[in-house]
Amino acid sequence: MSSNMYVSASPHLRSGISTTSVMRDVVIALLPSVIAGSIIFGIRALLIVALTVASCVVSEYISRKVMKRSNTIGDLSAVVTGVLLGLNYPVGINPVMAVFGGVVAIVVVKQMFGGIGQNFVNPALAARIILLVSFPTDMTTWATPFYYTQGAVDAVTSATPLAQNAAGNFGGSYMDLFLGNVGGCIGETCALAIPLGGIYLIARKVISPIIPVTYIATVFVLAFVMGQDPLFHILSGGVMLGAFFMATDYTTSPITSKGKIIFAVGCGLMTMLIRVYANLPEGVSFSIVLMNILVPHIENLTRPRAFGEIKNKIKGDK
């Protein structure tokens, strides 16, 4: 009898999903936003996203090599970070900055904390914030949609709807917001393309609908309570992209259902507080990163009761 049998603990059957298949689904779900961004802001948008992806993948490869760890670029998580980060840039960004952002996201935020599953904040968002603080002008110089069709070589600057709204001069329609015909980051203007990918992820059971639905609903309700235009607030800025793709990041969101609700409500609350009361026109990145930090506590507080768990042990019970 052959002695080279596989002897392992049960189960001997697996569902066939892998980290790679999950990440591949996320990349597929991001494609509509990448395409929309490329239509609205031209081929440069596509190039910026591709450059960021390349930067992230190369950073992952080199940093793992330097740390003498196994090569993990095959799990595609660096690609997801790259696409997300690219979608968070204004189209006119200096390519060197775009590459730098990728390096920060992967090396500093992800690999220095132990790689996939160990980072305590979303790498793409953390990198965006670092860039925003380091290069405030470049990161907030927005291009006018379809500037490239008007023969302009350089991106013509325009303000984002949220900035216009803060100044009280937003003149666009809901349709403009829905289709993305406004100023903003490459991937966050088109409120049509993002949920398309989000629904794909929900249908493929990659993400649960709890976080996006709760997040968007919270923003909607709070905007209404604060006397703002609720529809405008959920369609503009980074709410859609944040709710479907950033706040649902596995590593930095709670795994319990109750925890997911608390997390998403917190994100929505912070977003609206920053938008309405703070000095910044937009607060999605900050709100999600702040809530990321609270995840371990939220998870601890929302641990589900085990089947048949006896709630409180009766004292004095002998």
Partner 1 sequence: MKNQSLTFPTRPFSTRGGAKVPHRKNTAAMETVVMPAPKEVIIPMSQHIGAPCNVIVRQGDHVDVGQSIGENDSFVTAPIHASVSGTVKKITEITMPNGAKAKAVVIESDGEMTLSPYAEPPAAETKEQLLLAIKRSGLVGLGGAGFPAHVKLSIPQDKKIDTLIINGAECEPYITSDHREILENSWDILSGIKIIKDLLDVHRVIIGIENNKPDAIKTLTQIAANEAADPDDEIRVLTLKSSYPQGAEKVLIRACTGRKVPAGKLPADVGCVVMNVTSVAFIAKYLKTGIPLVSKRITVDGSAVKEPKNVIVPLGTPIKDVIEFCGGYKCEPKKILMGGPMMGIALTDDSMPVLKQNNAILAFDEKDAKLMEETDCIRCGNCLKSCPMSLMPQAIAGCVKLKDVKGLEKLNVMTCMECGSCAFNCPAHKHLVQTMREGKAMVRAESAKKAEEKKKEEAKKNEQ
- Which residues are at the interface with partner 1 (CB under 8 A)? 1-15, 17-19, 21-22, 72, 75, 77, 115-118, 250-251, 255-256, 299, 303-310
SS (H, E, C) 28-91: HHHHHHHHHHHHHHCHHHHHHHHHHHHHHHHHHHHHHHHCCCCCCHHHCHHHHHHHHHHHCCCC
Residues 6+ apart with CB under 8 A from 224: 230
Least separation in angstroms between residue 15's CB and partner 1 is: 5
By beta-carbon proximity to partner 1, the closer residue of 34 and 211 is 211
Least separation in angstroms between residue 301's CB and partner 1 is: 13
By beta-carbon proximity to partner 1, the closer residue of 254 and 283 is 254
By beta-carbon proximity to partner 1, the closer residue of 68 and 150 is 68
Least separation in angstroms between residue 34's CB and partner 1 is: 23
Least separation in angstroms between residue 238's CB and partner 1 is: 23
- Among left, alpha and beta (phi > 0; psi -120 to 50; other), residue 93 is beta
By beta-carbon proximity to partner 1, the closer residue of 76 and 185 is 76
Q: CA 129: distance to chain centroid?
A: 12
Least separation in angstroms between residue 115's CB and partner 1 is: 6
Task: Answer for the pair 210, 218: CB distance below 8 angstroms, yes or no.
Answer: no
CA of 129: how far to CAs of 22, 57, 89, 205, in Å? 26, 20, 11, 30
d(C-alpha 266, C-alpha 166), whole Å = 22
By beta-carbon proximity to partner 1, the closer residue of 140 and 208 is 208
